[in-house]
Structure 1
């Protein structure tokens, strides 16, 4: 848990606003969800929750177990299956908020993760995948990120080869694939009882990552295996992403191992310089809504706002709207300035410039000889104007 003070809170708020505004351009409507959720709802969407993964407590009035949400998607599924049960698909929803989950990366990582994302429900196949990918890449650009990589994978490639394998042996193979350890992967595949054809295919996945040029080789390696259909679907998506120019750079990772039990089709991550983790990730999860009684295909993703701030670096929200500190006779202008959309507050009469610097006001407005004196706080450059709100606004614009 942590606090955000100005200006960090403003940065996060503004980033979320821009992301949601970009989502809205594609027809996504905002929903607000409770930070607590019944454990039964979360487990219906995510499976059994490990005791150390979430914070739980008993709701006093009902006696039911509730938890601080580790993910918002099960909540969206609940809403779609109940409150929006009569809504015609496709259903396009966006959200923002925080989730609480255990992070296993570097110690500086926080359990509280601020997110903004979308869920596209009821549009299946490559058309739905491509819409969601377009929304994600457009949102990254909308917040000022021009240099990022779209990393594409598919849950029905590696997992298709491991389907039906005893869980402990499946986990061993997945771990070897995650580490890109081909020798260990081949050994794990043999221990799992896979055929020679499937062993070779699974081993090759550890090295099949790169640009679209890996697709023809993958088609040869996976021909005749259970992974062939997943590769064909991913190939269509990759080629169309490339044709549309959705991202500055696109890579394909056929050994993607993220959350096999959850994702059912195309998966993706957006990477940028800085954070060392994806700034956004998501994918197709066609099996989840059925658990809530309304089986519909779905694709969702979320941006991590902290990681997005880091990726943007010094470019993050450099445009600061005017904030005015008013003193003396200029204080009377506050209502008219606010009516004009300008942010302002009345400041102390003693050492107002120091106060303005401390609280990051852009301008100090005072009065002298019947005129407004508009002082730029960073460089203390003065402008004089008639003592009325319209004239002060013009001085700021000029």
Structure 2
């Protein structure tokens, strides 16, 4: 059956494709007027470039193949963020702040969930060269702005900080494999499993790590965290950054989840996830990742976010279908001029072809160009058409 596609791979039919394209233009224009410049990385790169600094998860999601020219292992991008970091570090190589954005298909060897596609259309924005929390605040606000433009306003934006876990895990002296197990248990908020893994860990790190899954809610969570977590310099710095974010973004639906460590191997500071449209899964993910550029010879502070346009198109309000205007096939200069003027105004004008099977209404037309005393004018499509 040649028409059957692989599992978790789908076509985008006209209505969905139109919504995806509308959202792409809307969001990229929103980035552009805020100073974010568009880049277009290649679909294929050498594998070590695509997966640098991103941890085992991205390596497992990347399709691999052998380059017939060089004999080296290549990969089909599963995430565009490392590519944009390479562009900033190695190609642009500019001093100071750089704002970049991107949009394109990525391919996953495995779906992220039972309902996810293996070919997301990833759109994102990245800010390089600023280490302060102001840059993180800009990214979260930008995300909220484009979600509102897409008519999928953020209902909740969960914020966490990878630095908290790093400081506590380092103080506990955990071996790498034990730290990995701890990370997985924190993500699932498995408190009994945490207690088992933390058996033998000294205080106060043990109690602090056990407290992380309960540190979830509004701004008051930061106060509770300051009381129950050890007063390590890294912990105090992370909580201070989160408190500043809460103050700078009081008009946004921020919540705090100090056990949310998505991208732990990749991120280095504040992380965030946006939820909307009744979806149990986050519609957008972001955070700070200061170390990724080092693999490309120029480590730069960086923060950003990305989302899948396919998921947004399925959640947002569908744009009303715009009917087309049917134009007769005639070699009339006045008709050609009328058609050109309508198309310049954004109208859809299709030319009537001879031998058309079916009705023009079924083909999407609801109006027609007719000739009269005033030249060519638009009129409702007659019933028999």
TM-score bin, normalised by smaller chain: 0.7 to 0.9
Counterpart in the other structure of 1:185: 194
1:157 to 2:164 alignment: yes
| Residues 1:115 and 1:50: Cα distance change in structure 2 (over 3 Å) | closer
**DSSP 3-state at the match of 1:66:** strand
Match of 1:394 in 2: none
Q: Which residue of 2 aligns with 1:392?
A: none
What residue number does 2:131 align with?
Answer: 124
Equivalenced residues, count: 370
**Which residue matches 1:293?**
297
- Work out whether residues 183 and 203 of structure 1, in 8 Å CA contact, stay in contact via their aligned partners in 2: no
Which structure has more RCO (C-alpha within 8 Å, separation ≥ 6)? 2
Deviation at 1:177, TM superposition (A): 1.4
* Aligned-pair CA distance for 1:221: 0.8
CA contact (8 A) 1:267 1:284 kept: yes
| Contact kept? 1:43, 1:49, Cα under 8 Å | no
Q: CA RMSD in A?
A: 2.7
Q: State the alpha-carbon separation in 2 of the partners of residues 280 and 108 from structure 1.
A: 16
1:8-47 maps to which residues of 2 (within 5 A)? 8-47=16-55
Structure 1 residues 154 and 50: alpha-carbon distance in aligned structure 2, compared to 1, 3 A threshold: closer
Residue in structure 1 matched with residue 178 of structure 2 by the alignment: 169
Contact 2:16 2:313 in 1 (8 A): no
Q: Shift of residue 341 of structure 1?
A: 4.2
Q: Paired residue for 1:138, among 134, 138, 145?
A: 145
Change in Cα spacing, 1:271 to 1:169, as seen in structure 2 (3 Å) is: same
Q: How far is the alpha carbon of 1:89 from its aligned partner?
A: 2.0
CA distance in 1, matches of 2:63, 2:257: 34
Q: Sort the Cα spacing of 1:276 and 1:355 in 2 relative to 1 into closer, same or farther, 3 A.
A: farther
Given the superposition, is the C-alpha separation of residues 279 and 52 from structure 1 closer, same or farther in structure 2, using an over 3 Å criterion? closer
2:4 maps to none
Shift of residue 339 of structure 1?
Answer: 4.1
Structure 1 position 335 matched with structure 2 position 340: yes
Residue 393 (structure 1) aligns with: none
Residue 353 of structure 2 is aligned to residue 348 of structure 1: yes
Kept after mapping to 2: 8 A contact 1:324/1:364: yes
Q: Does the 8 A contact of 2:51 with 2:58 survive in 1?
A: no
> What pairs up with 1:295-314 in 2 under 5 angstroms?
295-312=299-316
Q: How far is the alpha carbon of 1:178 from its aligned partner?
A: 1.6
On the 8 A contact 2:163/2:238 being kept in 1, the answer is yes
User: Which residue number corresponds to residue 199 of structure 1?
Assistant: 206
Q: Is the 8 A contact 2:100 2:125 kept in 1?
A: yes
Q: Alignment partner for residue 317 of structure 1, among 319, 332, 340?
A: 319
TM-score (normalizing by structure 1):
0.84
Q: Residue 216 of structure 2 aligns with which residue?
A: 209
Where does structure 2 lack aligned partners over 5 or more consecutive residues? Answer: 1-8
SS at match of 1:82: helix
